[in-house]
Amino acid sequence: MGPNSRAMAGLTVLIHAPTGRDATATAEVLARAGIESEVCADLSVLLDTAEAGAAAIFVAEEALFGKDLTALGAWVRRQPAWSDLPFVVLTSRQNQPSVIAWRKGLVEILRNVSLLERPVQTITLSSALQAARRARQRQYEVRDLLEEQARAAQALEGLVAERTRALEAANVDLAAANRELHNQMEVSARAEESLRQIQKIEAIGQLTGGVAHDFNNLLMVISGGLDMLERQTDADRRKRILEGMHQAAQRGASLTRQLLAFSRRKPLEPEPVDLMRQIGGMSELLDRTLRGDVHVELAFADDLWPIDVDPGELELVVLNLAVNARDAMPNGGTIMITARNAPEEIIGGRTGDFVRLSVIDTGTGMPREVQDRVFEPFFTTKDIGKGSGLGLAQVYGFATQSGGTVRIDSQVDRGTEVILFLPRSVDQPSPVVSHLIDLHGERPNPRTMGRVLLVEDDDEVAALVSEMLDQLGYEVFRASSAAAALGALANDRAFDLVFSDVMMPGGMSGVDLAKEVQARRPRLPILLTSGYAEAAVQAAQEMGVYVLPKPYRLDQLAAGLGRLRPVEAQG
């Protein structure tokens, strides 16, 4: 196979969905997205075709259910070291125990797999396969670099053999041979550096997605709040808006601190700290941050030593760990924060006195392969927009820069304990305790000139937009996800319109929500908002749904609401 045919095969998405119109429909979706595909009628043809190269494999699970998957598993396992072919599996809504067990086994066989549950939206399908195709392209780049390294090594071996034979036959200039050897070593070094650059680019891509989303929401709170302040004369409401902007600025500073702590460019300012008073004073902040079904309990030893740390960074670390613990307990639970003395502990090759600070949850826990990576920068298992992957890396940076360390102990379905060892202080703490964030004030009471279902996962953005809608005369009911919004609609709540962000956690976007609203309440108007999702904007416009660019001002929100009309159900 020549270079051109090899590249064409590597960019093709293989489709195996012999039942119904899934194969034809998927091929049409990919064709509209400019992606070449090939339909494989049976499993043997699929494996033979994949052997020649493929970008990804799309398969309907019913095509594999009850089949002998030995050959498929063997093919996946014998992939070369650079290869981890992406599979996208279209699943059904069947949730019987036998089906769930079979599906779990299928995921273990395929390894690199994404599951899409029927019915799947066109944009979701094309986005998933586009992402799989991009990941496969990076694998091919790594393959090419490894092949270049192998060719360089082979050339080097040939050169060494040739020079050895020449030296045996005659007294060849040793200096010339050394120069040639040095040149070949430089070729190998350049190939290795190219591979490292690709890895850096991938890491930067992971970082920018989370950071861009977080900062876009912070700008929404600040720019929208400034616009609201210009229009607001009520002192209490101005105070609430200023508080929201202040909290957004604090979040931006917090994210910046995480980045600087990871890069080791932000010096810590350690001082003697009374751990009980410092963490105990965070109770209001923790209550505001965590859900109502998540509770925090403190259990500190009576004879606890003071520690020598930066108090602001300590509170940021505890807040990060509490949020992670909350996210690991979707059904609620208790977070235990404990502390006790740890004398004569060996940390970093030296023995000293430390305080052991633990944050313990009873949540989903983590498998070993996740535990091994949790302190890596940019690594995250959260949904889009729910984290930049720097939280635990910042915890690690804080602990080590403070002269201590951090450890993690987790079991699947039993919970996680994150343990920080922080150095004992020989000095006494100051009687005055300052905190990273001080919270005051209450949420406003809604007005009654119209009822809006606001769908927004970011708490601070939701607070500001609620103020804006209140200013425009609407009563606001907030849902933090598309699924929660559908639950509110299912409970026969009377809403006059739905206002939703496009990028949402949980696998269901604002565009998906709009389609469900069309199906369930075809006369209910819906307005979407987004900062950067061009594909989602195009899909929404095709449905006749207006997308308000983010960030926006109060007058722009009013204009967007003025454009609303009942959405028409699509055939």
Give the type of residue at 69.
L
Burial class (CB in 10 A: 0-12, 13-18, 19+), 161: exposed
Is the model more confident about 417 or about 394? 417
- Residues 6 or more apart from 87 whose CB is under 8 A from it? 56, 57, 58, 59, 110, 112, 113, 114
Q: Are strands 333-347 and 451-455 parallel, antiparallel or unpaired?
A: unpaired
**Residue 380 pLDDT more than 70?**
no
Which residues are registered as beta bridge partners of 108? Answer: none
pLDDT at residue 288, as a whole number: 65
pLDDT at residue 439, as a whole number: 46
pLDDT at residue 408, as a whole number: 92
pLDDT at residue 423, as a whole number: 95
pLDDT at residue 389, as a whole number: 47
**Cα–Cα distance, 54 to 9 (Å, whole number):** 6
Burial class (CB in 10 A: 0-12, 13-18, 19+), 240: buried
pLDDT at residue 51, as a whole number: 87
Q: DSSP E strands: which ranges in 99-153?
A: 113-117
**Residue 319 pLDDT more than 60?**
yes
Whole-number average pLDDT of the chain: 80
pLDDT at residue 282, as a whole number: 83
Segment 41-100, tens digit of pLDDT: 889 899 998 888 898 999 998 888 888 899 999 999 999 988 899 999 999 888 888 888
Segment 197-232, tens digit of pLDDT: 554 445 444 455 556 566 667 667 777 777 777 777
Going by pLDDT thresholds of 50, 70 and 90, the confidence category of residue 386 is: very low
pLDDT at residue 15, as a whole number: 93
Distance of CA 325 to the CA centre of its chain: 16
Please report, rounded to a whole number, the percentage of residues in the chain having pLDDT higher than 90: 23
pLDDT at residue 227, as a whole number: 73
Mean pLDDT calculated for residue range 366-393: 66
Does the bond joining 551 to the residue before it have cis omega, within 30 degrees of 0?
Answer: yes
Please report, rounded to a whole number, the percentage of residues in the chain having pLDDT higher than 70: 79
Q: How far is CA 17 from CA 25, 26, 88, 130, 437, in A?
A: 10, 9, 12, 19, 54
**Cα–Cα distance, 426 to 93 (Å, whole number):** 61
pLDDT at residue 373, as a whole number: 80
**Residue 250 pLDDT more than 70?**
no
Segment 486-514, tens digit of pLDDT: 888 887 668 889 999 988 877 788 899 99
Going by pLDDT thresholds of 50, 70 and 90, the confidence category of residue 422 is: very high
Is the model more confident about 403 or about 448? 403
Segment 84-103, tens digit of pLDDT: 999 999 998 888 888 888 88
pLDDT at residue 360, as a whole number: 96
Mean pLDDT calculated for residue range 545-563: 82
**Cα–Cα distance, 208 to 347 (Å, whole number):** 34
pLDDT at residue 403, as a whole number: 92
Mean pLDDT calculated for residue range 313-336: 88
Place of tokens 């970082």: 207
**Cα–Cα distance, 457 to 137 (Å, whole number):** 32
Going by pLDDT thresholds of 50, 70 and 90, the confidence category of residue 405 is: very high
pLDDT at residue 97, as a whole number: 87
**Residue 172 pLDDT more than 60?**
no
Count of CB atoms within 10 A of residue 492's CB? 6
